[in-house]
Amino acid sequence: MERIKVETTQNVAIEYDIASVGDRIIATIIDGLIVFGYYIVIIIIYSYFVKASTPNGAFYFFIPLLIPVIFYHLLCEVFMNGQSFGKKAMKIKVIRMDGRQPTFGNYLLRWVLRLVEEGFIALITVVINGKGQRLGDIAAGTTVIKLRQNQPLTTLSFQKVEENYIPVFPEAAHLTDADANTIRQVLRLRPEENQMALQAKLVTKLKEHLHIQSLLDNKKFLETLLRDFNKLNGRL
């Protein structure tokens, strides 16, 4: 499986498995079946409940109900954290090339170019590009990755902290969401993914950035800093 290195805001390169062409094709087929099923439901509703009472009202009936179909991928990715139902079934997800959460603008640009990309063109682009990107991804600065087993679908889901917890490092208040996201990603790495080296590199960067001195081991330091970040930012 091809992999891609994503440079985070703390200049720590994290590797992800790129979603395979097969995964993306199957996800597209699943999404297509969902859209097709939606069409069938609309036709049945119109034929049995609308046509007889408003024979000239097809336009006013179909247009509002077709809007969800037209915006299907955009709505899914915005509200399902970079996934459509097909992507969710195949455990693949849209991320930004800098490791941060895609913005609405990123999703919008992907969607706009999806409307003009032919399926074959998109497929060829993904194969040739080598970074799992179709034209929409290249323009939006995104790619599609394969989620690891048991990896949460959102890298920005905040951990709960006990109400009486006292932060160890008040400097954690100066972390950004992107910094916290990087810490979570590094903590989730497996040993074979250069886990210890990346944790050490990130700890060095954070200590320099926040002017912290600590004798905690790298993993414990990152976990504590993340817990402090959540507490100080009111993510209880």
**Contact of 142 with 19, CB cutoff 8 Å:** no
Q: Per-residue pLDDT averaged across 79-85, rounded? A: 92
Global pTM?
0.65
**pLDDT of res. 179:** 84
Angle (CA) 152-186-22 rounded to 5° is 55
* Torsion sign, CA atoms 189, 190, 192, 196: positive
Highest mean pLDDT among 80-94, 122-136, 160-174, 180-194: 80-94
- Phi/psi at 224 (5° precision): -70, -45
In this predicted structure, the answer to whether residue 109 has a pLDDT above a threshold of 90 is yes
pLDDT band at 34 (very low <50, low <70, confident <90, very high): very high
Return the pLDDT at 154.
Answer: 41
* Residue 116 Cα distances to 22, 24, 92, angstroms: 22, 18, 23
Amino acid 159: pLDDT: 53
What is the C-alpha separation between 230 and 236, in angstroms, rounded? Answer: 7
Give the per-residue pLDDT at 120: 72
Residue 207 reports pLDDT greater than 50:
yes
pLDDT given at position 156: 37
Q: Compute the mean pLDDT over every residue in the chain, rounded to the nearest whole number.
A: 81
Average pLDDT over residues 219-225: 92
228 closest CA partner among 150, 173, 156, 158: 173
- Residue type (1 letter), 93: K
Residue-wise DSSP of 123-147: HHHHHHHSSS--HHHHHHTEEEEEP
Q: What is the mean pLDDT of residues 184-200?
A: 84
Would the pLDDT of 41 be above 70? Answer: yes
Query: Where are the alpha helices (H) located in the chain, listed in sequence order?
Result: 21-45, 58-70, 72-79, 85-90, 104-116, 119-129, 135-140, 177-188, 195-210, 218-232
Average of pLDDT values for 99-119? 86
Residue 38's alpha-carbon distances to 19, 57, 74, 140, 221, in angstroms, are: 27, 19, 16, 29, 50
Of 51-60, 174-183, 192-201, the one with minimum mean pLDDT is 51-60
pLDDT, tens digit (0-9, with 9 covering 90-100), for 112-157: 998 888 667 777 888 787 788 888 899 999 999 888 654 443 443 3
6-23 residue pLDDT tens? 666 555 667 778 888 899
pLDDT band (50, 70, 90) for residue 158: very low
The CA distances from residue 140 to 3, 26, 43, 84, 180, in Å, are: 19, 23, 35, 17, 23
Asked if the model's pLDDT at residue 105 lies above 80, the reply is: yes
